[in-house]
Amino acid sequence: MAEKGGGGQVFLREQKHLAQVPVLVPGAQVVHTPAVRSVLRTVAHAAAVGAVVCLYGDAGQGKTVALQYALSQLPYPARVRRVHVGVHPTVPELRRVLADALELGRRLPRGAGEADLMLVNALRQPRVLVLDEAQRLPGPALEFLRGLWDHPDTDTALVLAGAGSERALRRVPALASRVLTWELVSRLRPGEVAAAMAAFHSLWEEVAEDDVVWVDEHVGHGNFRTWAKLTSHLTAEIYGKSRAVVDRRMLERACARLMGPL
C-alpha cells in the first residue's frame, strides 16, 4: 500500500521488511512464533522434496504472512509461482491462471490436451506452486492440480493455503492422500501474546502486561490480524507525539474502533 502524502498518513506505508506483505503498521516485524517457525520448516521441506502441503487455520491467524515469509527464505525464490484463483474456478479458468503464473501467457494453445502438455513442460524444472485461498477451489480444479503434480515429468511442490482449505482437500481423497503435511496455524495462546506483540512492534514493549491481557480477553483473542489492526490504530494515535504513553484509556479507544463501545 503506497504512502498517501501528509504526515498523518505515514502509518499506511507498505513495510518491505515484512517479505512484501502489506501491513498497516510502520516498524512491524515478522514474529518468529512457534507457528511461524513450523511453517518455515514445512515450506522448506516441501520445496526440497516436491511435496504437497496444506496450510490451514482460522482467518486472521497469520497464515499469509507466515507463508510469504517462508517463501522469501527459500534458496531459489525465483522458482516460486503464486497462483491467484477466483471463487470456484472451472478447470479451463484454472488452466489459464496457471499459464499466467508460469509466464506462458498467450502462448497457451486452445486445445485442452495441448495446453496441459505445455503446462507439464513448464513444470519439468523444479517449481513451488502456491495457491492461497485454496478453499475456493472445487473438486474438479483440485483434481486437475493433483494430475499435474502426479505427472511423471513434473517436479513441483504444491502449497495449498487458506481458512477451510483442509476441508476442501478432504473432499478430494486422491489429493488429500498425497498431502505430506497438514500445517495448522493456530491463534496465539494467552501466555504468548505479550512477548509476541513486543516482538511485533516496539510500542507494546512498555505496555503493562495486565493491559495486554485485558486487550486479548476483550478483543484480541490471540488473533494476529486483530492485534495488527489495534497496533495500527495506536501507531496513528501516537504519531508525532514525543512522549506518548499507551495506557488503558488509549487501548480502550483503539478497541472501541474495532468493535464499538465495550
DSSP assignment letter at 81: E
The pLDDT tens digits for 145-200 are 999 999 999 999 999 999 999 999 999 999 999 999 999 999 999 999 999 999 99
Distance CA 252, CA 248 (A): 6
pTM for this predicted structure = 0.84
Greater model confidence, 26 or 17: 26
- For 23, the 3-state DSSP assignment is coil
Secondary structure string (H, E, C) spanning 92-133: HHHHHHHHHHCCCHHHCCCCHHHHHHHHHHHCCCCEEEEECC
Would you tell me how many other CB atoms lie within 10 Å of the CB of residue 57?
21
* High-pLDDT (> 90) share of the chain, %: 71
Distances (CA, A) of 153 to 94, 125, 143, 174: 20, 9, 17, 19
Q: Establish how many alpha carbons lie within 13 A of residue 169's alpha carbon, considering only the half-sphere containing its beta carbon.
A: 28
Give residue 260's pLDDT. 55
Give residue 28's pLDDT. 87
- For 176, the 3-state DSSP assignment is helix
The pLDDT tens digits for 221-253 are 999 999 999 999 998 888 767 667 788 999 999
Q: What's the grid cell of residue 98? A: 496457471
Distance CA 61, CA 188 (A): 8
Distances (CA, A) of 190 to 27, 65, 176, 209, 229: 24, 20, 32, 11, 18
User: Taking a C-beta distance cutoff of 8 angstroms, is the pair 130, 71 a contact?
Assistant: yes
Phi, psi of 181 (to 5 degrees): -135, 130
Give residue 206's pLDDT. 87
Closest CA to 229 of 255, 190, 262: 255
- For 153, the 3-state DSSP assignment is coil
Closest CA to 147 of 158, 159, 161, 160: 158
Q: What's the grid cell of residue 13? A: 506505508
Q: What's the grid cell of residue 82? A: 503464486
Would you tell me how many other CB atoms lie within 10 Å of the CB of residue 135?
17
The pLDDT tens digits for 118-130 are 999 999 999 999 9
**Residue 214 pLDDT greater than 80, yes or no:** yes
